[in-house]
Structure 1
Amino acid sequence: MRCEGWRIRDRFLRQFLRCIVRIFGIWNFFRLKRVYMHGDLEFFYKNSDVCMYILTMRNYINSKLLNFNLIILVLSIVTFVTSRNYESWEGSQNIDRDSFANVDEVITTHFELKLEIDFDHRVLRGLQQLQMTKLAPRVDQVYLDIRDLKVYEVYGDHGEPLNYAIDNPNPMLGQRLAISLSREQASSKDFAIYVQYETATNASALSWLAPQQTSGKTLPYLFTQCQTIHARSMAPLQDTPSVKSTFVVETLTEPAIQTRVTGNMTHNQLQNSSGVELRFTRHQIDIPIQSYLLAIASGNLAERKIGDRTTVISEPEDLDKVANEFVQLEQFLDVAENLTIPYEWGEYKLLILPPSFPLGGMENPLLTFASPAIVPGDRSSVDVAIHELAHSWFGNLVTNNNWTNFWLNEGFTVFLERKVVKKIFGEDFYKVTAKLENQTMYFDMLDFGLDNDMTSLSPSYDGIHPDECFSDIPYEKGFQFLTFIESVIGEETMLDMLRAYLREFQKTSIGVDDFESYFSSYLEQRFGSDDARRILDTIDFNTWVHGTGLPPVAADFETKEYNEAIELAQNFIDTTPDAEKAAALYKSFSVNLKGLFISHLIDNLESLNQQKTQYIDDVLSVSSEINGEIIYRWLQVSIRSGQLQAPFTLADEFLGSIGRMKFVVPVYAAINAINPSKAREIYAKYEDFYHSMARDAITAVLKSEDVLISS
């Protein structure tokens, strides 16, 4: 039985209550009475007999029957509570159910990670030192998140061995490392834990590339991807966005290998140990961040400064092209900063990874990762870089406290990204981008089902790996929610609110209730109670955040150019338009307009056949495009219409050249819908090339009988 109506949400109230029960007991009965009448002993919930005690006590209090029986009852509760083992208490689970860490009792404030990067065996050997602070008065154990780590030794502040055990409360999420504290640690507020360990060769955060998989083809390469919950496969951590800490990471590699880690580099030098020369690097970050932002890139790296605060990094062979592609990076930073609050992270570094990186970009502070897919050579995909830069404020500075609230990272980031895009590239570019991604969101919703909980901004996926819920929905539905709020309160007020929001919550992790409460307070302070209520009545928070399906209010992003692209696509579907005029118009389109043109074809696949698709390609030469945003959409059309048939040569070449999930998963789905055996054959050829996140997504598609129609 669970007494769901009573809930003490504030951890300090919870600690205060426990202290009262344990220390003062019956002599502080009237303090207990006040807490009981306004809250709920959450750590009693699992026990029906305790719930019965509390219910009985409330009845006594409410009827003012303060007699001897009540005193005996309170004494019974005190005796029961002080004799309980608090392992059953689930306080931390109310913050982030994708972590096993008991973060309501103890949190990491700083860690120092020493790593040997072993390319020969494809493992990291590490010593993790966690500096921890208690939030609860009595803590006997610390729970850390791990995934397939070989733990060799755990010890405390003075080298004393600590008992530990590993169990599997939910194998989907990894394992729990339960560490028993020493007597001295149990009585201290602050303490340290040391864990010596080794990663698995198939650790989900790590991608090991052979030299031939790199541009230079001379040195091996390692890169990591820790979002959402993959950091636990790289190091023992409280792997939840609800915990932020500073850290230091030291690495040892072969002398020729250069390593970059999230944070500022303080050492990069060769050192001799027992006659063996190794490269030692040290990176540190002094602004507390969440574990999924821990990132490592190790290989043949070179960097070039392109602005006062901006630098690009890549393999040496690609550096000129990368620097030319992002020559505006400093401008992007300046515009974003002017729209928000000062950028405080230091030098913004953008690292272009090898092609197997599974995402468009990843916002690791001081070391943003990006796919080479955003470097087509014509600066047509720089909005991805703007998006990752915008995370410096939303996501990195103010963070979702769990993956259910992921839209607080991505919706806000897309909103700022589009503001920067509008300032630099104009209103039409902004609207076309928003319209294109709105269609992608719609396709994602169709894949889930419009009434599926995953189409809400607050999906409930307890016990499910959060990667399984990844889609464009938190990005685009979140963006449209904020755009709607802006339409109600005005752009000037919206930007002022966002600046105040950033100042209020910077360096913390929050939930949607925090945002809603703050927004209400902001409106009341700015407009007064009556106007604030009127505005809030216009904004249906519950439907926007918890409702499924399309946004409750449709945003208008149509432009003249958008209508031209849709009309051209429809003309090809209905007729055979004049080839010369059609080719000239298509050639004038931006990459995003071409994407909208093809997306309309995807949305009308039932009206296309092999001949119509071939005519479109003959006239427009779509299959000769170089931008992956166009290619992956066109391959879906050509495969599903029958224009591209087995052995699917163009698709095969594309799938072997890039590992970005947005691009490859829909193409595999298209092939699988036509020829499952060929889809599996192509995947088997490139399986080792892909990151584990991409492998999981592709294999899910190949096993599914559902028809995935877009990214």
Structure 2
Amino acid sequence: MVNDPNSLSNTSDVQTTHIHLDLSVNFAKKILSGYVILDLLTLRKDVSEIILDTRDIDVRQVLLDEKPLKFHFAPSDEKFGSALHIELPENFAENKSFKLKLDYNTSPTCTAAQWLEPSQTCGKKYPYFFTQCQAIHARSLLPCQDTPAIKLTYSAHIRSPYQTLMSAIIVGEEDTGDGTKIYKFEQLTKIPSYLIALAIGNIKGKKIGPRSTVWTEPENLEASAWEFADTEKFIATGEDLLTPYEWGKYDLLVLPPSFPYGGMENPSLTFVTPTLLAGDRSLVDVVAHEISHSWMGNLVTSTNWEHFWLNEGWTVFVERKILGRLHGEKERQFQSIIGYRHLMDSIEKFGADNPLTALAPKLDGVDPDDSFSSVPYEKGFNFLYYIEKIVGGPQVFEPYMKAYVKQFMGRSITTDDWKDYLFKYMEENHGPEKKEALLKIDWDRWINAPGLPPVKNEFDQTFSKACSQLAKRWDDARNNDTFEGFSPNDIKDFNSNQKMVFLQRLFECPPFPYKAIEALDKVYNLTNVMNSEVRFWWQEVCLRTGYEPIFPHVVKFVTEQGRMKYVRPLYRSLNRCNSELAKKTFLENKSFYHPIAATMIERDIM
């Protein structure tokens, strides 16, 4: 087994095959309490102890066959938590199966959890709870081998006063007679620990397809059902490209606005941000990304976070294949241009020589959250796009994609595993000339070197050209007094992505004078746009200039939602313009943000 530098558990000695959770939710104390049963299998002889990952977990006792075992916690590591050492009663032989039961409760500081007060929800009447375990936060939810190297099935019984959902299939509900229910779940397809997910609150569902229900607070239900009505098209297109959908159902949970990501690919129940509710379906392509994870990441999983690009680069590649089939190849090309801009931004932020900008970075001593960027997504996509061209285009590469999923489904793999199979497949199915083509790739620079990719792919400029031309007109006219010649008709045929790219091009220009910002807003009414992507980039353009009238709109945006894609850059930009306002806004709203987001924002500006 490949070492995971971000896990403290002894995965070379023993592996978990199944987890059963039996937990009660306590909103008053902000804890989950109960027990977990771990089905374990020894991998070598003379195993004398089990080491599990934990963070701020209170373990009351550990039982083997109803008999208590000795255990202790190692000193806590700030990044990785505390290793829980469990002493076995004797040395276990290789291939021995056994169960450990751990009675425990989480802490109110559980980094996987966010407990929302009623005031933080849409309805303002009921509390809400949800988890986010990626990357290494499952260890704060339960004692476990918290590494993607281990894939397991799980089941759960959750006692709760409100509707409860998990990244699993609900198989029953039981009234307890005390105002709570026991919600019963099963996930029979193997997953890594980071995909265990739980949400509890005033949640209602509405069916939107043959295998999909959208869940959310009642106030957002109709809008969410309308926004995500085309979900089945994404699933069916993914199946056509790859293999049959494995997970039984594909439900969506639209979370309260503090959810820190655009989406999280929890199997059977993708979590998504309400910032996607644009009212015109202009942002629902995020769902194509999360659906693509059903194969890339969830079925075929990177063995540790150093190989995260195998999850995300592949997912972006499949996502854009889906969008190309649904919206046309030029749209796929346009999305690729947008993605490359995100890649450039991430590398500029980290620094081109930063080892974390390598496709497969070394993460010894590094919290994976600190390495998070567009690099595994977009550098990974560009690598696969380049390989597709090298081997002969989609007619060669798309059959390989299906074979790749079939080869590794249910497994956790490394970059070397992926590369070895690519060579094997191409030679066996297309002859030695394809192997020769692959050998010409500079593998070391693509995989291990920091900075931008060694080869820049060329993408169709049809959709981006008009954006760049309009931005140049504004750049040329930046010092005009009247700004004649501009009108709303300039962007009337732009889709939301083109409006976003137009603003990105403005952002790349030298800061505009106030009068140009005022003219832009007067012509295009950008301050009042509700599409989150357009809104974000407009505010970034304004903050780059230090345009003070935008400050209250920025404060409103960063305090009505907690998606890190938006709030972290905006806080940094606002901090450069007015550090007192940025810090005051953050401190007043810190409890609104998910713990992961709050930690990252605090590091950015405090």
| TM-score normalised to structure 2 length | 0.97
Question: Which residues of structure 2 form unaligned runs of 5+?
Answer: none
Q: What's 2:56 paired with?
A: 148
Matching of residues 4-403 of structure 1 within 5 Å:
94-156=2-64, 158-168=65-75, 170-183=77-90, 189-254=96-161, 257-272=162-177, 276-403=178-305
Superposed CA offset, 1:594-648 (max 9, x none): 11111112222x34222222221121111111011111111111122022358x2
The CA distance in 1 between the partners of 2:216 and 2:92, in whole Å, is: 45
Superposed CA offset, 1:43-81 (max 9, x none): xxxxxxxxxxxxxxxxxxxxxxxxxxxxxxxxxxxxxxx
Question: Which of 565, 571, 584 in structure 1 is aligned with 2:473?
Answer: 571
The CA distance in 1 between the partners of 2:459 and 2:342, in whole Å, is: 14
Q: Which amino acid aligns with 2:530?
A: I
The CA distance in 1 between the partners of 2:329 and 2:435, in whole Å, is: 32
Q: Is contact 1:170-1:463 (8 Å) kept?
A: no
Structure with max Cα Rg: 1
Q: Which amino acid aligns with 2:55?
A: R
Superposed CA offset, 1:675-711 (max 9, x none): 21211100012100000111111111103xxxxxxxx
- SS of the equivalent of 1:171 reads coil
- SS of the equivalent of 1:182 reads strand
In structure 2, relative to structure 1, the CA distance for the partners of 1:510 and 1:645 (3 Å cut) is: same
Q: Is residue 617 of structure 1 aligned with residue 525 of structure 2?
A: no
Matching of residues 595-674 of structure 1 within 5 Å:
595-604=500-509, 606-644=510-548, 648-674=551-577
Q: Is contact 1:573-1:607 (8 Å) kept?
A: no
In structure 2, relative to structure 1, the CA distance for the partners of 1:428 and 1:580 (3 Å cut) is: farther
Q: What's 1:554 paired with?
A: 456
- SS of the equivalent of 1:288 reads strand
The CA distance in 1 between the partners of 2:435 and 2:492, in whole Å, is: 50
Matching of residues 397-412 of structure 1 within 5 Å:
397-412=299-314
Q: What's 1:424 paired with?
A: 326
The CA distance in 2 between the partners of 1:612 and 1:139, in whole Å, is: 70
The CA distance in 2 between the partners of 1:222 and 1:176, in whole Å, is: 26
In structure 2, relative to structure 1, the CA distance for the partners of 1:532 and 1:687 (3 Å cut) is: same
Q: Which amino acid aligns with 2:601?
A: I
Q: Which amino acid aligns with 1:127?
A: Y
Q: Is contact 2:257-2:275 (8 Å) kept?
A: yes
1:436, distance to aligned residue in structure 2 (A): 1.4
The CA distance in 2 between the partners of 1:695 and 1:258, in whole Å, is: 27
Q: RMSD of the TM alignment (CA)? A: 1.5
Q: Is contact 2:43-2:95 (8 Å) kept?
A: no
Question: Which residues of structure 1 form unaligned runs of 5+?
Answer: 1-10, 12-93, 704-711
Q: Is contact 1:639-1:645 (8 Å) kept?
A: no
In structure 2, relative to structure 1, the CA distance for the partners of 1:186 and 1:152 (3 Å cut) is: farther
1:557, distance to aligned residue in structure 2 (A): 2.3
Q: What's 1:682 paired with?
A: 585
Q: Is residue 535 of structure 1 aligned with residue 442 of structure 2?
A: no
1:98, distance to aligned residue in structure 2 (A): 0.2
Q: Identity of counterpart residues, as a percentage?
A: 37
Q: Which amino acid aligns with 2:562?
A: G
Q: What's 1:520 paired with?
A: 423
The CA distance in 1 between the partners of 2:89 and 2:76, in whole Å, is: 24
Q: How many residues align?
A: 602
Q: Is residue 413 of structure 1 aligned with residue 315 of structure 2?
A: yes
1:580, distance to aligned residue in structure 2 (A): 5.9
Q: What's 2:490 paired with?
A: 585
In structure 2, relative to structure 1, the CA distance for the partners of 1:121 and 1:522 (3 Å cut) is: same
Q: Which moved more, 1:668-677 or 1:239-248?
A: 668-677
1:187, distance to aligned residue in structure 2 (A): 8.0
| TM-score normalised to structure 1 length | 0.83
Q: Is contact 2:45-2:92 (8 Å) kept?
A: no
The CA distance in 2 between the partners of 1:518 and 1:642, in whole Å, is: 52
Q: Is contact 1:224-1:295 (8 Å) kept?
A: yes
The CA distance in 2 between the partners of 1:561 and 1:335, in whole Å, is: 23
Q: What's 1:695 paired with?
A: 598
1:378, distance to aligned residue in structure 2 (A): 0.7
Q: Is contact 1:573-1:612 (8 Å) kept?
A: no
1:165, distance to aligned residue in structure 2 (A): 0.9
Q: Is contact 1:140-1:186 (8 Å) kept?
A: no
The CA distance in 1 between the partners of 2:138 and 2:301, in whole Å, is: 17
The CA distance in 2 between the partners of 1:528 and 1:629, in whole Å, is: 45
The CA distance in 2 between the partners of 1:564 and 1:185, in whole Å, is: 68
- SS of the equivalent of 1:173 reads coil
The CA distance in 1 between the partners of 2:289 and 2:484, in whole Å, is: 37
In structure 2, relative to structure 1, the CA distance for the partners of 1:381 and 1:595 (3 Å cut) is: same
The CA distance in 1 between the partners of 2:423 and 2:372, in whole Å, is: 30
Q: What's 1:87 paired with?
A: none
Q: Is contact 1:614-1:643 (8 Å) kept?
A: no
Superposed CA offset, 1:460-481 (max 9, x none): 1211110001111110110011
- SS of the equivalent of 1:259 reads strand
- SS of the equivalent of 1:140 reads strand
Q: Is contact 1:609-1:642 (8 Å) kept?
A: no
In structure 2, relative to structure 1, the CA distance for the partners of 1:579 and 1:697 (3 Å cut) is: farther
The CA distance in 2 between the partners of 1:184 and 1:252, in whole Å, is: 37
Superposed CA offset, 1:323-361 (max 9, x none): 110111111111110010111110110110000000000
Q: Which moved more, 1:548-557 or 1:284-293?
A: 548-557
Q: Is contact 1:359-1:370 (8 Å) kept?
A: yes
The CA distance in 1 between the partners of 2:320 and 2:462, in whole Å, is: 19
The CA distance in 2 between the partners of 1:461 and 1:450, in whole Å, is: 17
The CA distance in 1 between the partners of 2:340 and 2:248, in whole Å, is: 33
The CA distance in 2 between the partners of 1:114 and 1:186, in whole Å, is: 29
The CA distance in 2 between the partners of 1:418 and 1:369, in whole Å, is: 20
- SS of the equivalent of 2:181 reads strand
- State the structure with bigger RCO (CA 8 A, min sep 6), 1 or 2: 2
The CA distance in 1 between the partners of 2:513 and 2:68, in whole Å, is: 69
Q: Which amino acid aligns with 1:226?
A: C
Q: Is residue 594 of structure 1 aligned with residue 499 of structure 2?
A: yes
The CA distance in 2 between the partners of 1:310 and 1:364, in whole Å, is: 14
Q: Is contact 1:185-1:191 (8 Å) kept?
A: no
Q: Which amino acid aligns with 2:564?
A: M
